[in-house]
């Protein structure tokens, strides 16, 4: 993070033709992007969106009403351009890539043992890191995977504690009894792996798309690329990194507040306020791709507005 660029960006905001602070969060976002990109006038010329997809052994516990085949069907839908994320990336100018991760080889049921071994976890993290484009100046992360709201709840319960039921919601369409069952599965799975460390939880109860998201976040951190995380599952995916060191997520914004009830607890624990709050709970990176429009708005004002001196307006 380039403090000099950020300070210069903050100073520029005070010169623009508006009362100081009146653009609210847009001002903070412009300064954030200036600091991470290391330039007073940051730009979004190469927004990249990555959607990682995986399958999950925990589906054997009946945690999701849809068959696991839907994961591959949705990957085909992404590739054909028919999903929500395709429309939102096209609207807001992000280049979308979909990365399916061994869909025909689901992780193991985490109530029986670790979901992944260390080599599998590292391979998925590596795939995530490798997918980050060298030219990306902002990175949008999303996911798809039948059963992965249960995986996300397990990661959140493992890292942030509390009651399992506090992290469990409807996911793709669970009703009240199914939600209670998901909570039991989460509680049982996390208890089975008690004593795991932060990143150890990724192997114990995580999944390939969660590990890939961690890998992409770390790759972006090394290259100082600001990241827009999506909602509940994406935020839970990086909880193991947060447990290892919260500073690993300093370059990450959260695109939107998910309608999944567990999301608020996570974002509060991480002290990150989501940009949008529109009752969405789709995943795919959809909330992050929509929030890209807000980032573009912040930079349009930051870079395009006249200063008081330029415009001949009194009171700068």
CB of 17 to a copy of itself, least distance (A): 5
DSSP string, 17-38: SS-TTTTTHHHHHHHHHHHHHT
Q: Which residues contact 129 (CB under 8 A, 6 or more apart)?
A: 215, 216, 218, 219
CB of 13 to a copy of itself, least distance (A): 11
Residues near a copy of itself, by CB under 8 A: 16-26, 65-67, 69-70, 73-74, 76-77, 80-84, 86-88, 90-92, 172-173, 259, 275-282, 286, 290, 293-294, 296-297, 300-301, 304-306, 310-315
Q: Assess contact for 12 and 40: CB atoms under 8 A.
A: yes
Residue with smaller CB distance to a copy of itself, 92 or 111: 92
Q: Which helix (H) or strand (E) holds 226?
A: none
Is 79 part of the annotated catalytic residue set?
no
Among 27, 120, 143, 284, the one annotated catalytic: 284
CB of 99 to a copy of itself, least distance (A): 19
Q: Assess contact for 56 and 147: CB atoms under 8 A.
A: yes
Name the token pair of 26. 């847009």
Residue with smaller CB distance to a copy of itself, 74 or 214: 74
State how far the Cα of 143 lies from the Cα of 208, in Å rounded to an integer: 10
> Among 58, 81, 64, 226, which residue's Cα sits nearest to residue 141?
226
CB atoms within 10 A of CB 263: 25
As annotated, the active-site residues are: 284
């Amino acid at each position: 993070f380039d403090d000099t660029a950020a300070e210069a960006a903050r100073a520029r905001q005070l010169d623009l033709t508006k009362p100081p602070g009146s653009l609210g969060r847009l001002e903070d976002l412009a300064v954030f992007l200036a600091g991470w990109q290391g330039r007073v006038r940051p730009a979004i010329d190469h927004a990249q969106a990555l959607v990682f997809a995986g399958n999950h052994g925990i589906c054997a516990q009946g945690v999701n009403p849809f068959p696991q085949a839907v994961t591959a069907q949705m990957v085909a839908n992404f590739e054909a351009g028919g999903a929500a994320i395709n429309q939102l990336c096209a609207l807001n100018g992000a280049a979308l890539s979909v990365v399916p991760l061994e869909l025909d080889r689901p992780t193991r049921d985490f109530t029986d043992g670790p979901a992944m071994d260390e080599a599998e976890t590292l391979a998925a993290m590596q795939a995530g890191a490798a997918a980050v484009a060298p030219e990306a100046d902002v990175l949008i992360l999303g996911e798809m995977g039948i059963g992965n709201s249960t995986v996300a709840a397990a990661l959140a319960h493992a890292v942030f504690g509390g009651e399992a039921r506090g992290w469990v919601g409807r996911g793709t369409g669970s009703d009240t009894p199914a939600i209670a069952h998901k909570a039991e599965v989460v509680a049982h799975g996390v208890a089975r792996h008690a004593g795991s460390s932060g990143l150890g939880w990724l192997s114990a109860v995580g999944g390939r798309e969660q590990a890939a998201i961690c890998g992409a976040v770390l790759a972006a951190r090394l290259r100082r690329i600001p990241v827009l995380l999506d909602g509940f599952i994406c935020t839970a995916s990086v909880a193991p990194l947060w447990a290892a060191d919260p500073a690993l997520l300093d370059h990450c914004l959260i695109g939107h507040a998910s309608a999944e009830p567990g999301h608020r607890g996570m974002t509060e624990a991480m002290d990150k306020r989501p940009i949008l709050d529109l009752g969405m709970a789709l995943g795919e990176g959809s909330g992050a791709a929509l929030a890209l429009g807000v980032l573009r708005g912040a930079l349009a004002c930051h870079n395009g507005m006249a200063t008081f001196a330029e415009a001949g307006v009194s009171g700068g």
